[in-house]
Amino acid sequence: MKKASQILLFLVLLLFGCTNERKENKNVKLNSSNDSLSIYFSLANDVNLPLTYKQKYNQKALDIINAQKDDSIKKVNLFKVANRYFNMNDWESYKKVSKLVLEKAAVSKDSANMAKGYVYLGDYYQAQAISDSAFLNYFKAEKIFSGINDDFNIAKTLLTKADLQLSEGDFFESEITIFKALKILKEKKDVSNLLYDSYNLLGILYNEREEYDKALEFHNRALLILEDKSIPADLQLKSTSLNNMGFVYLKMHDFNLAKIYFQKGLEQKDLFTGNTVLYAMLLDNLAYAKFKSKEFTGLPAQFFDALKIRDSLKLESGIILNKIHLSEYYAFNKDTLKAIQFSKQALNLSRISNKSRNTLDALKQIAIVDPENASRYTKEYIKINEKLQREERKMGEKFSRIEYETNEIKDQNSNLQEKNKTLVYVFSICTLVGLFFYVYKTQQARNRELLFKQQQQVANEDIYNLMISQQNDIEATRIKEKKKVAQELHDGVLGRMFGIRISLDSLEQMDETEALPKRRKYLTELKNIEEDIREISHDLNREKSELINNFVLILNKLFENQQNTYDSKLITSFDPQIKWELVSNAVKINLYRIIQEALQNCNKYADADTITVEFKSEVNYLVLSIYDDGIGFNTKKTKSGIGLHNIEYRAAECKGNVSIKSVQGQGTLLVVKVPIDQKINLQNNDN
């Protein structure tokens, strides 16, 4: 604070000294008009000087320029004068100089400066809220820039038009205009600042249309553009983007994220001195986000700090919004008197400034905090809202009409020139058309003959290919059926035959009398196996149908047989989210055979105490895992037998994959993952 006070005192003394020196030497002429012009320009831009002093120096600069000869340098200097009046908010002087430079450019047929003059006039009318006149001037500038192929200024003018359309609520046309500008800019280099403006405008536009995801996408793109160091940091564009993103989250009611972005925006270097208006806006937005998230640290002081800055800068819209926020804050804290007081102040100020959108916000708030008069405020709100919507529609229509009428005048002038040319071309075109028609008919007849021959040849080739394809399909089906029969015999019969063979071998060590009844029993079992083999081909379709119709029941029957026959403990688990009716028939049959083969391998080789079979559903996958705590084996050394080969083959039939993990002495884990079509979501409980 002490250092700041010293700097302020120094500036005051410097200003006082300069003023006295100017009084003492007011009749002394400077040696060079160019030197004096640069000095006057510098003084007219000095933020430490009073407005009247800056206006006087700018007028002196204008007097020097008017005395110069008409050339390109004179127009450049006139634009400098206009810029300084713009920065002073001296709108009438700004308009006067802009019209002057436009007239001089028109006399010298300087298209570039004419277009620039129209842009400056458009800025004047936009500042005065005369939107149709602003749009007309921007549109004229765009047409001139297009005529001289000045793509950079075309894009710049389009963005200015889009900003105007956005402020008038013409979102659709604004979006189209921005994308026209982007199409030009993406083919150019060194246009980072305009790309930032484009993405920032799109972010604001989509936020207004409540398309929040798109708004955040384009604000993030704008932030990425700011990584280009060619964009001056003193423009505080990063703070602008952070504020805009925070505002999106504010509208989404994600107040915690909004706070983070507003706080980051406030923490940017030299924000207060570089852009005081933005600093006040961020401060108010941060306070509001904190209030909405029930965090009251620093409140309401932050609201009042922002309000104080806006009052000093006479920012009417900001003051109104600030007071609405304070009204909401005091209403929440049950201080009805202050809530009504601030909402009334906001309403009165919005009425005086004739800002309809601000008036709507103020009416909405006062109707909440002053319920006794809510009906009166609501009626006024509806009336103003309807009027505003009508005006926005009219303005959008007026913008379209301006474009249409301007283009129509241009088209009429062009048509007068084109009509004469058209008469010259008519006879030539008629002659060419007749010649073309004769050639076309002749060529068409030849093409028909050639096409007939080609179709005949293609038909012959198709017949031959169908014969070959049919023969291949028959052969492939025969081979596939052989494999299926072999797999069915191996998976369903060999296990039982293996058990009977072991049992028959054990009869050799028994007496004949004792072995006879067991031999008969085993012979009976062999007959049963023989009957099973005979019925495999007849019952295969019936078996498949049973598996399809009640797959879990069939598996449970298999598990029950396993528990009744072997000593190993069997644990099974089915994910209830799996919709078996959505799983294809082929997958069910192959999974059944894989489990059957895996259990047989466990019984023959694993010497396991516990076997676990589990079905799980994952995103886009059905997973079968079979684990045993048996002796395990070395997966690298052990060659795949027919059982493991069949498991891999069946998994491949389902377009799945198999993984086997085993460590000697620590058991074996078999995992089969079968992909499920994304359209059949096994985890969707609504299906």
Q: Looking at residue 395, what is its pLDDT? A: 58
Q: Looking at residue 393, what is its pLDDT? A: 67
Q: Looking at residue 590, what is its pLDDT? A: 85
Q: Looking at residue 520, what is its pLDDT? A: 74
Q: Looking at residue 312, what is its pLDDT? A: 92
Q: Which pairing describes strands 667-675 and 657-663: parallel, antiparallel, or unpaired? A: antiparallel
pLDDT tens across 45-76, in order? Answer: 888 889 899 999 999 999 998 888 888 888 88
State yes or no: pLDDT of 238 exceeds 60: yes
Cα-Cα-Cα-Cα dihedral sign, residues 348, 354, 355, 356: positive
471 band by pLDDT with thresholds 50, 70 and 90: very low
Q: Please, are residues 544 and 589 in contact by the beta-carbon 8 Å criterion?
A: yes
| Least confident piece of the model among 3-7, 91-95, 623-627 | 3-7
**Residue 55 in tokens:** 């206006």
Q: Looking at residue 541, what is its pLDDT? A: 53
Q: Looking at residue 215, what is its pLDDT? A: 94
Task: Assess whether the previous peptide bond of 371 is cis (omega < 30° from 0).
Answer: no
Beta bridge pairs of residue 251: none
Q: Looking at residue 478, what is its pLDDT? A: 60
Beta-carbon count within 10 A of 680 CB: 14
Beta bridge pairs of residue 662: 668
166 residue type, one letter: L
| Least confident piece of the model among 247-256, 316-325, 650-659, 676-685 | 676-685
Q: Please, are residues 110 and 91 in contact by the beta-carbon 8 Å criterion?
A: no
- Nearest Cα neighbor of 616 from 672, 658, 553, 554 is 672
pLDDT tens across 376-416, in order? Answer: 988 988 988 888 777 766 655 555 565 555 555 454 545 55
State yes or no: pLDDT of 355 exceeds 70: yes
Q: CA 186 to CA 180: how far, in whole Å?
A: 10
Q: Looking at residue 289, what is its pLDDT? A: 95
Higher-scoring residue by pLDDT: 476, 97: 97
State yes or no: pLDDT of 441 exceeds 70: yes
Q: Looking at residue 25, what is its pLDDT? A: 42
State yes or no: pLDDT of 473 exceeds 70: no
Residue found under tokens 């993103």: 245
At residue 634, what are phi and psi to the nearest 5 degrees?
-85, 110
Residue found under tokens 């037998």: 641
3-state helix, strand, coil in the chain (%, to 5): 75, 5, 20
pLDDT tens across 188-218, in order? Answer: 888 888 999 999 999 999 999 999 999 999 9
Higher-scoring residue by pLDDT: 288, 538: 288
State yes or no: pLDDT of 467 exceeds 50: no
pLDDT tens across 356-368, in order? Answer: 788 888 889 989 9
Q: CA 175 to CA 201: how far, in whole Å?
A: 9
Q: CA 414 to CA 441: how far, in whole Å?
A: 37
> Which segments of 508-576 does DSSP mark as H helices, in order?
512-549, 551-565
> Which segments of 129-236 does DSSP mark as H helices, in order?
131-147, 151-167, 171-185, 192-208, 212-225
Q: Looking at residue 488, what is its pLDDT? A: 65
Q: Looking at residue 657, what is its pLDDT? A: 92
Higher-scoring residue by pLDDT: 656, 511: 656
Q: Where are the domains of the chain?
A: 235-298, 550-687
> Which segments of 550-641 does DSSP mark as H helices, in order?
551-565, 585-601
Q: Which helix (H) or strand (E) holds 6?
A: helix 2-24
Q: Looking at residue 482, what is its pLDDT? A: 64
pLDDT tens across 580-621, in order? Answer: 888 887 788 888 889 988 998 898 888 899 999 999 998 888
**Residue 572 in tokens:** 């099974």
DSSP state letters, 264-285: HHHTSTTHHHH-HHHHHHHHHH
Q: CA 177 to CA 469: how far, in whole Å?
A: 57
Per-chain mean pLDDT for the chain: 80
Task: Output the pTM of the full model.
Answer: 0.54
Residue 554's Cβ-count burial label (10 Å; 0-12, 13-18, 19+) is middle
Q: Please, are residues 644 and 637 in contact by the beta-carbon 8 Å criterion?
A: no
**Residue 359 in tokens:** 């008036």
What Å distances lie between residue 32 and 3, 21, 62, 508, CA to CA?
Answer: 38, 19, 15, 132
**Residue 470 in tokens:** 């049919």
Cα-Cα-Cα-Cα dihedral sign, residues 121, 123, 126, 128: negative
Q: Looking at residue 245, what is its pLDDT? A: 95
Q: CA 218 to CA 196: how far, in whole Å?
A: 9
Q: Please, are residues 278 and 238 in contact by the beta-carbon 8 Å criterion?
A: no
**Residue 349 in tokens:** 């100020």
DSSP state letters, 298-351: TTTHHHHHHHHHHHHHT-HHHHHHHHHHHHHHHHHTT-HHHHHHHHHHHHHHHH
State yes or no: pLDDT of 472 exceeds 70: no
331 band by pLDDT with thresholds 50, 70 and 90: very high
Mean pLDDT to the nearest integer, 70-83: 88
Q: Looking at residue 21, what is its pLDDT? A: 38
Beta bridge pairs of residue 265: none
**CATH superfamily of this structure's domain 550-687:** Histidine kinase-like ATPase, C-terminal domain (3.30.565.10)
Q: CA 163 to CA 159: how far, in whole Å?
A: 6
pLDDT tens across 489-541, in order? Answer: 666 666 667 777 677 767 677 777 777 777 777 777 777 777 777 766 565 55
Residue 420's Cβ-count burial label (10 Å; 0-12, 13-18, 19+) is exposed
| Least confident piece of the model among 40-44, 508-512, 642-646 | 508-512
Beta bridge pairs of residue 612: 571, 627
**Residue 630 in tokens:** 């048996």
Q: Please, are residues 595 and 556 in contact by the beta-carbon 8 Å criterion?
A: no
State yes or no: pLDDT of 79 exceeds 70: yes
Edge-first strand order for the sheet with 621-628 is 569-574, 610-618, 621-628, 667-675, 657-663
Residue partners of 349: CB distance under 8 A and separation at least 6? 316, 319, 320, 323, 358
Q: Looking at residue 620, what is its pLDDT? A: 85
Residue found under tokens 């950079």: 152
At residue 616, what are phi and psi to the nearest 5 degrees?
-130, 155
Q: Looking at residue 121, what is its pLDDT? A: 92
pLDDT tens across 544-580, in order? Answer: 545 445 678 888 888 988 898 888 999 999 998 888 8
Mean pLDDT to the nearest integer, 74-79: 89
Beta-carbon count within 10 A of 86 CB: 18
Looking at the chain, the whole-number percentage of residues with pLDDT higher than 90 is: 32
DSSP state letters, 436-475: HHHHHHHHHHHHHHHHHHHHHHHHHHHHHHHHHHHHHHHH
Burial pattern 173-211, b for ≥16 Cβ within 10 A else e, equals bbbebbebbbebbeeeeebbbbbbbbbbbbbbbbbeeee
> Which one of 30-44, 326-340, 575-589 scores highest in mean pLDDT?
326-340
State yes or no: pLDDT of 458 exceeds 90: no
Mean pLDDT to the nearest integer, 227-236: 81
Q: Looking at residue 38, what is its pLDDT? A: 87
Q: Looking at residue 386, what is its pLDDT? A: 85
485 band by pLDDT with thresholds 50, 70 and 90: low
Q: Please, are residues 299 and 329 in contact by the beta-carbon 8 Å criterion?
A: yes
